[in-house]
Amino acid sequence: MRREHMSSKIYATITGVGHYAPEKVLTNDDLEKMVDTSDEWIVTRTGIRERHIAAPDEFTSHMAIAAARKALAHAGVAPEEVEAIYVATCTPDMVFPSTACLVQAGLGIKNAYGYDVSSACAGFVMALDTASAVISAGRIKTALVIGAEKLSAVTDWTSRNTCILFGDGAGAVVLQASDKPGMLSSYLGVDGNLSDILYLPAGGSKLPASEETVRERLHTVHMAGRETFKIAVNTMVDAAQTAVARAGLQIQDIDIIVPHQANHRIVDAVATRLGEGVRDIVFMNLERYGNTSAASIPIALSEAVASGQVKSGDNILMVSFGGGLSWGGGVWVWP
Ligand code: UT7
């Protein structure tokens, strides 16, 4: 009996989820007044109708803390129980300290370590994978995994190619050790050969801030939209199929898919390629948030749970794609 106990698997399970969106809403009509675009173009090409925009004095850490508070309350976990904080973000408050440190201080968490995971839109699935592995290894019992972004701070508001896409917000989950599943599988990948189709050129060691970088708007997201679109579909299909296979399941066994909310046409193309009827189990809230990068999956998961669309025992597939290039998928059982 003792040997059985010692060899029993430790799963990481999601026991709480929460999200936060800034108060200000920027509609497509508002964007029409800023750049040469139209509500019709944006809705047809992306599915986005509005997005939330953080206040000037509201930063990524504030949104992360707000989402984390809700996730902790949902899980019934006190801040002092948290042993690790993972913040997926490509828009940290500062280059360092990590946003995770600011979250630790903001929530009054004691005795935890934390760091940021920088993998653009795929950051949340990457962070979930690491946190889950640390829990399954028996190193910690409770972790906070947060996706938080203030993309409005790195958006070129004069470029219609990008400014219509992005929004701000945060989502968080509490992960806890359990003898019941849990994370069933994970599949992650990167390809730096394609780093220049979606990137933020300046502000790092390559192009530190200068008058020129500011003048050339190099502190904002640069993207080759069409190329990104095509690769997003292929990699998300691959990530979804591989994650499902690694879980020992078929796509028909998945109850709900929570994809990165990039563009409704990307998600529709992925769903079509995954099989008949798959579109019906995809959760979307892109219309009201735009693309919030690493925050998009946890915000969507939180809304899916709050709306009652996730039931105990459901198999959830999360799948993402982003700059890097980077991608990932994971299958989870809802406890
Ligand atoms: O998290 C991952 C991050 N990135 C993505 O997911 C983005 C992936 N890519 C996309 O979602 C799409 O490529 C976009 C939504 C960005 C663009 O849609 P598209 O169907 O690929 O349009 P396009 O770039 O091929 O542009 C078509 C036309 C162009 O005009 P011409 O050359 O045909 O005359 C653009 O100049 O639409 C024009 N255009 C716009 N028109 C009105 C581009 N942006 C806009 C705009 N409003 N905002």
159 pocket-lining for ligand 1 (C-beta < 6 Å): no
CA 271-324-45 angle, to 5 degrees, is 45
Choice among 74, 121, 264, 315 that is catalytic: 121
The pLDDT value given to residue 7: 53
Number of Cβ atoms within 10 Å of the Cβ of 153: 16
Choice among 19, 62, 260, 264 that is catalytic: 260
Pocket test for ligand 1, best of 36, 44, 229 (most atoms within 8 A of CB): 229
Find residue 257's DSSP bridge partners.
282, 317
DSSP assignment string, 41-61: HHHHHH---EEEE--TT--HH
What is the whole-number distance in angstroms between the Cα of residue 165 and the centre of ligand 1?
A: 10
What is the whole-number distance in angstroms between the Cα of residue 161 and the centre of ligand 1?
A: 6
164 pocket-lining for ligand 1 (C-beta < 6 Å): yes
Average pLDDT for 144-152: 98
Token pair 């950051």: residue:
123
Cα distances from 178 to residues 142, 311, 333, 335, in angstroms, run 10, 18, 12, 10
What is the whole-number distance in angstroms between the Cα of residue 295 and the centre of ligand 1?
A: 22
What is the whole-number distance in angstroms between the Cα of residue 42 and the centre of ligand 1?
A: 9
- Which CATH number, 3.40.47.10, 3.30.70.260, 3.40.50.300, 3.10.180.10, labels domain 11-180? 3.40.47.10
Buried b (16+ CB within 10 A) or exposed e, 192-201: eebeebbbbb
160 pocket-lining for ligand 1 (C-beta < 6 Å): yes
The pLDDT value given to residue 8: 81
199 pocket-lining for ligand 1 (C-beta < 6 Å): no
Q: Give catalytic status of residue 90 as yes or no.
A: no
Q: Where in the chain is the domain with CATH 3.40.47.10?
A: 11-180, 184-333
- CA torsion, points 76, 167, 154, 93, in degrees to nearest 10? -20
pLDDT in tens, 17-58: 999 999 999 999 999 999 999 999 999 999 999 999 999 999
- Which CATH number, 1.20.120.790, 3.10.400.10, 3.30.390.50, 3.40.47.10, labels domain 184-333? 3.40.47.10
Q: Give catalytic status of residue 260 as yes or no.
A: yes
At residue 3 the predicted structure's pLDDT band, cuts being 50, 70 and 90, is very low
41 pocket-lining for ligand 1 (C-beta < 6 Å): yes
pLDDT in tens, 249-298: 999 999 999 999 999 999 999 999 999 999 999 999 999 999 999 999 99
Q: Give catalytic status of residue 74 as yes or no.
A: no
46 pocket-lining for ligand 1 (C-beta < 6 Å): yes
pLDDT in tens, 207-240: 999 999 999 999 999 999 999 999 999 999 999 9
If DSSP codes are grouped into helix, strand and coil, which group holds residue 94?
Answer: coil
The pLDDT value given to residue 10: 95
Contacts of 197 (CB under 8 A, 6+ apart): 223, 224, 227, 228, 231, 325
Average pLDDT for 117-124: 97
What is the whole-number distance in angstroms between the Cα of residue 225 and the centre of ligand 1?
A: 6
H-type helices in 171-246, by residue range?
211-215, 225-246
157 pocket-lining for ligand 1 (C-beta < 6 Å): no
Q: Which residue's CA is the closest to the ligand 1 atom numbered 2?
A: 322
What share of the chain has pLDDT > 90, as a percent?
98
